[in-house]
Structures are given as structure tokens and as C-alpha cells.
Amino acid sequence: MTDVLVVGAGPTGLFMAICLLRQGLTVRIIDRALAPSDKSRAIAIQARTLEIFDQVGIVNHFLEKGLKLKAANAVANRKRIARVPFDHLDSPFPFILSLPQYDTEQILIEYLKFLGCKIERGVELLSFVEKDKEIEATLSVGTARASWLIGCDGAHSTTRKCLAFAFEGRTFTQEFALADVEIAWDFPHDEFTLFLSRDGILAAIPLPEKGRYRVIFQQEPVLEVVENLLKRHAQPNVQVRNPRWITSFSINSRMTEQTIKGRVILAGDAAHIHSPAGGQGMNTGFSDAYNLSWKLKYVHEGKAKHELLATYDLERRNFGKKLLQATERASKIAMLDNLILVALRNFVFRHLTKHAYIQKKLASLISQIGLQYDTNVAIGAGGGKRAPNANTEKGDLFQCMRTNPGFILMNNRDKILIPEAIPLTHDGWIYDSHYIYVIRPDSMIGCKSSNPKVIQEYFFGVFDIQKEKR
């Protein structure tokens, strides 16, 4: 019997399988599609995701293929009114990486193959039942048995429908379009631009291929329309040609009421879908996988109580709610058509974004490095924030995590008794303060204290350790 059946081999499902395999679990991954998508789809990879890829050991494959975007611009009446540089980011990756989704998927597919896992294509989930601590899934090719089932099967998730989970939210009434085209103009090819006007959303995001852009707009998906919009709002002599993909789409903003029921779990678009504002959707799915995989490992192996797994739902749904609100708000602001509100928006953009503090806040929000979780079983005193990279006697923190996907202690001045149930995978620490930091396997700070007993109690809370073992 397989430990985990992953349903869906899009970006979230692929990375979920990789994370689970790194944690030592056995994985079977299926997808009803016969082949990966050949469309560019999601193109923005944020700094937080790049940090995660670095910790997994695959970031260089992405950096080799992608284009580093160093800033975001807002333009109104053909004049730049705001610029948010990403070099403020406290990250080894102070940029957004532009990369078509088909390239992202191919890198993950190759790494999954390297780990010895093959995607079963043309295989569809039909239904499932939970019994005797296992899932029995009915597939289009027969029956599968697994200890856990994770639905990464997208916005139209069969897994979610089988669970009868509501997908609450709204669909924007406006119609949107995107075009992957070549643009000849004077705008830099390493920055993306949002054009603010009463014509609705208009944005141009550079793609890795020289001169090629993703354009998002709110009119008929026709090449001539794209060129006319850019002539009106960017520069009059712009030329748009060689469309590779033009399509219309709707914007949805939805979340499930929960992400876990028994031994079935939802992740990625199966659990939440967002406005494309800020390029957050795919990145959120990657973080779902990174958050869930280590918790599932310890619960599956009997080293932690089910309460630890419940923190996946708590942490990721709370983050998802805030993200949904932020992206929906950003979309509404970009689509303003009232003259007074448009003028007010442009005034605020022009003046607020001049300040370094605001620039840093915006960059932190877009990049997801400002991610923070509230206190729970897996977040103790002083915890909840992402751990930035740091140097240790045995290499930097991310390097440690590449080979040791478990808990890491830093600044360990006192010798703490760590129960055998706890896999302390690295003994390096930094003497830059008197605090002890517990770095979780998903590179979030689990606990921070100068008192060894506080650290010890944190581990007793996370792991299923009997009192007599204390």
C-alpha cells in the first residue's frame, strides 16, 4: 500500500510529491491529462518560492531558464507614477522570476523522475472511501489503496467535490483576456508594468524570451486590441506581433470551508483560487506542499498527534483568507473607472510609493517573504515568521535544509535534552544572540527563546511524547 496518493500533476501536485518523497514517504501521483500543458499559464515565481526551491536543491534549474524581474511599475497617462524595486527584499532572491508554467512543470517532472517517481497519466480519480486507517480510491484504471489522499487537482477538483466541500467566494462579472506576444517598445525587459486607466486592467509582464510579454487586459482577445491599448496607454509607436497564445478568462476568488477531512487533504487551486493580481496562486500551492509534507510525515509515522496535521489547515487557510482579500482588493483598485476615484488612486500611488518603507512593505507582500503564522501547536513563543537565510559553521541555513529536511536548532548555547522521537538533523548554530531558534522543516521559525525549557516544551507539544519519557 502506498503512503500517499497525490491526485493532480500540475505545479502543486508535482511539488507535493517531491516534498513527500524528501520526507521519506512513498508516493503515487496520477493525472487525468495525457500530457503536461503546453500553455504558459502561471508565470511568476516569487522570492519565498525560490527560497523553498533552494532548500530543496532545485533552484538553479529555475534560475537558468527564468528571467529576473527587478521592479514593478505603475503608469498613468503614459507617465510612470510609481516604482517598487525588489532589491529591498531580505532574501537571496530579490526579484520575481518570470518563467512559463510549462517550463516550471518540466523542471519538477525531471526532478520527480530523478527521485524515482513516475507520473501515471490518463488516470482519473472517480471516487474514494475511507476505512480502517486507509483510503480506497476508485480510479479509471482500477482501485488504489493509500494511507492518505491529497487532492491537488485544481479549481474543478474531483477530490473536493467528493468531499462535498463548499467552494465559497465570487466570480468577477468582468471578462478578462491575456496574450503572449512580442512587443517592440522602449520599456525595460526586466520590469513589469501596470497601466492605470479607465479601460480597466492592463498589465505587461516580460517573459524570458527577448521581446516577449504576457499582456493582461479587459477587452476582446484580439491582437489588434492589445496593440491599440498599449498605444493609448504606453507609447504611440508600440508594435505588437507574433501572438503565441490569446485567450479570455474569468477571475474567481474562492476558498474551501476546510482543507482536511479524515485522511483526505486539499492543496493548491483545489482549496483556493485567487485573482491573478500579484502572481500569487501557483506560489501559494507550492507553500501548501512545503507546509503539509513534514507534518504528514510525523503524523503518518506516529511521532505526532493529529493536531499537528490540523495546523496545516489552520495556517494555510488563515494565510489564504488574507491573500484572497489582498488580491481581490488590488484587482478592484486596478479596475476603478470613476474619475474622482481614479485621480485619488493615482495620487496615492504617486506619493506613497516614494517612501522606502512602503516600497519594502509592498515588495514583502508580493514576494510572500512577509508570511507569518499565528501561535498554534506548531508555532510556539517567538515563532511564526519565515527564517531568513543565515551562515553557520557548517554552511548557510538553506544548505543545511537541502540535505536535512527536519528540524534545525540554531544558537544552541545550552545542551538541551531532545527526546529520541525528535529527529534533530543538524547541530549547527550561530552565536549572534543568546536566543535559541527552532527552525521547522518548512523554514518557518517554530519557537524562539533564551530558556531551554521553553524550547523543550515546544517539542513536547509538537511530538507525541508520553509524560513518563520526560
CATH label of the domain that carries residue 239 = 3.30.9.10
Q: Which of 300, 430, 308, 470 is nearest to 380 (CA)?
A: 308
Tell whether 125 is covered by a domain. yes
Q: Does the pLDDT of residue 276 top 90, yes or no?
A: no
* Last residue in a domain, options 249, 269, 291: 249
Tell whether 441 is covered by a domain. yes
Tell whether 207 is covered by a domain. yes
DSSP 268: G
Q: Are 371 and 287 in contact (CB under 8 A)?
A: yes
- pLDDT value for 176: 92
- Give SS3 for 124: coil
- pLDDT value for 278: 67
Asked if 161 and 183 sit in the same domain, the reply is no
Tell whether 88 is covered by a domain. no
Residue type at 54 in one-letter notation: D
How do residues 9-51 score in pLDDT, each as one tens digit?
Answer: 999 999 999 999 999 999 999 999 999 999 999 999 999 999 9
Asked if 241 and 293 sit in the same domain, the reply is no
Q: Which of 140, 446, 129, 406 is nearest to 294 (CA)?
A: 406
How do residues 279-293 score in pLDDT, each as one tens digit?
Answer: 788 999 999 999 999
Asked if 231 and 265 sit in the same domain, the reply is no
Residue type at 435 in one-letter notation: Y
- What's the rounded Cα separation, in Å, for the pair 79 and 187? 12
Tell whether 211 is covered by a domain. yes
Domain range spanning residue 135? 2-43+100-170+253-335
Asked if 164 and 281 sit in the same domain, the reply is yes
DSSP bridge partners of 2: 146
- What's the rounded Cα separation, in Å, for the pair 392 and 429? 6
Asked if 142 and 275 sit in the same domain, the reply is yes
Number of Cβ within 10 Å of residue 124's Cβ equals 15
- pLDDT value for 327: 79
Asked if 180 and 149 sit in the same domain, the reply is no
* Last residue in a domain, options 226, 249, 272: 249
Asked if 450 and 431 sit in the same domain, the reply is yes
* Last residue in a domain, options 335, 353, 371: 335
Tell whether 343 is covered by a domain. no
CA distances from 426 to 73, 270, 413, 421, 434 (A): 42, 35, 15, 15, 19
User: From the DSSP assignment, how many helices (H) and strands (E) are in the chain?
Assistant: 12, 26
> Which of 26-35, 162-171, 184-193, 362-371 has the weakest average pLDDT?
362-371
- Give SS3 for 191: strand
Report the domain count for the chain: 3
Strands (E), 125-251: 125-131, 134-139, 142-151, 167-171, 176-184, 191-196, 203-206, 212-217, 239-249
Tell whether 95 is covered by a domain. no
Asked if 142 and 27 sit in the same domain, the reply is yes
Tell whether 374 is covered by a domain. no
CATH label of the domain that carries residue 158 = 3.50.50.60
Q: Does the pLDDT of residue 126 top 90, yes or no?
A: yes
Q: Are 256 and 271 in contact (CB under 8 A)?
A: yes
pTM of this prediction?
Answer: 0.92
Asked if 34 and 131 sit in the same domain, the reply is yes
Asked if 144 and 289 sit in the same domain, the reply is yes
Asked if 191 and 260 sit in the same domain, the reply is no
Asked if 136 and 192 sit in the same domain, the reply is no
Please tell me which residue, 343 or 415, carries the higher pLDDT value. 343
* Residue 68, H or E segment: strand 67-69
